[in-house]
Amino acid sequence: MSSSPKLHYKTVFDIPKEELFAPGHGLCAGCTAGTIVKLLLKVAGPNTVIVNATGCVEVSTTTFPYTSWRVPYIHVAFENAAAVASGIEAALKVLKAKGLIDPNKRVNVIALAGDGGTADIGFQALSGTLERGHKLMYVMYDNEAYMNTGIQRSGATPQYAWTTTTPVGKVLRGKIQFKKPVAEIVAAHRIPYVATANPAHFLDMMNKFRRGLEVEGPSFIHVLQPCTTGWRFDPRLGIKIARLATETAMWINWELDYGEFKVTVPVPKRKHVKHYIRLQGRFNHLTDRDIEEIQKMVDSEVERINKVVGKEIIGPVVE
């Protein structure tokens, strides 16, 4: 399994009709996390156990006596989704070996957590799980702040973004530090499969979920998840903003499959970052000069990625 398999989901007609994520959940109108979870379950199918960290998806889908989950689901705490998932994986493995459950039944174990539960408080448990090599997939839905508790900054919040704990004042204007490159840090664990994805490119995202469930060992999918409430945009714009993230190269969809790096969504003609930034209230305070600074950072990142790929997979800014 050294090279990527053929793409499984080529058109929207390849997507299974079965809905394992029930309607009636309490996510915000326009939340793109629902889109991600719904498609994730379509890929995974019913033989799946979901381990969900505390966060937006958890609180809005499991208020007793209701549940949105038509697959077995467990929530334990904020910082330990990876550890809980590793326990489930180990249990299934040994119960199969002892003949206590059907040894031929393949059950997907998926950990699902936000950026806070992954990049910050859950990072230790994640790193340990990756190092131990459990066969499970970890999906990080990244809305770039602690949205569930009211938009506090996380390690995954981008530079300059307003949050309730990085307010725009007379002295300080938004987050000072860079966004933690979580997928790259995960890749340094040399696990079989790491990818970044984005719900606007949903077929690409679903193929990555599929590949992540297929590989023997841990996989990690880092999904950008535009948040209407925290990013301050009109609820109908979530997917448009997700697409602009890729078109501006503020977000690059790539995969690292057994060491083989590939940009899965090439961008021959790039858009200026202002198209992405100006749609979001969290960046309202930025001046044109600030935006130019961000553009320069994106340019240098694009240059770096193109060098790694060995060709101009992401083109110059044309609009």
Partner 1 sequence: MGEWVRIPLSSNYAAAYAAKDADVDVVAAYPITPQTTVVEKIAEFIANGELQAEMIHVESEHSALSACIGAASAGARVFTATSAQGLELMHELLYIASGLRLPIVMSIASRALSAPISIWGDYSDVMATRDSSWITIIASSAQEVYDSIIQAYKVAENPDVLLPVMVAYDGFLMSHTYEPVYVAKDRSTILEFVPKRKPLWNILDPDKPITVGAVGNPDWYYEFKYQQVVAIENSLNILKQVFEEFGKRFERNYSFIETYNMDGSDIAILTYGGLYGTVTEAVDIMKKRGLDVGAIKLRVFRPWPTEELIRILKNLKAVIVIDRAISFGAALEGPIAMEVLATISKKSLDTALHSYIASVGQRAVTEEDVMAMVENSIDLLKKGVSLTEKSIYWGVRQ
Contact residues: partner 1, CB under 8 A: 46-49, 51, 58-59, 62-65, 67, 69-77, 79-80, 82-95, 97-98, 100-101, 105, 107, 124-125, 127-129, 131-132
Q: DSSP secondary-structure letter at 173?
A: B
Least spacing, CB of residue 216 vs partner 1, in Å: 16
Output 38 or 272, the one with its CB closest to partner 1. Answer: 38
Output 107 or 237, the one with its CB closest to partner 1. Answer: 107
Least spacing, CB of residue 42 vs partner 1, in Å: 15
Choose among 237, 244, 298: nearest CA to 271.
244
Q: Are the C-beta atoms of 267 and 314 separated by less than 8 Å? A: yes
Q: How many CB atoms lie within 10 A of CB 293?
A: 15
Least spacing, CB of residue 109 vs partner 1, in Å: 9
Output 1 or 94, the one with its CB closest to partner 1. Answer: 94
Alpha-carbon distance 44 to 37, whole Å?
A: 10
* Bridge partners, 115 (sequence order): none
Output 17 or 98, the one with its CB closest to partner 1. Answer: 98
Least spacing, CB of residue 114 vs partner 1, in Å: 16
Least spacing, CB of residue 117 vs partner 1, in Å: 13
Choose among 190, 204, 310, 186: nearest CA to 258.
190
Scanning 137-264, the segments in alpha helix (DSSP H) are 182-187, 202-214, 228-231, 238-247
Alpha-carbon distance 9 to 223, whole Å?
A: 17
Output 87 or 315, the one with its CB closest to partner 1. Answer: 87
Integer CA distances (angstroms), 42 to 19, 47, 59, 146, in order: 7, 11, 21, 27
| Tokens (6 digits) for 28 | 């915000």
Least spacing, CB of residue 20 vs partner 1, in Å: 9
Output 10 or 106, the one with its CB closest to partner 1. Answer: 106
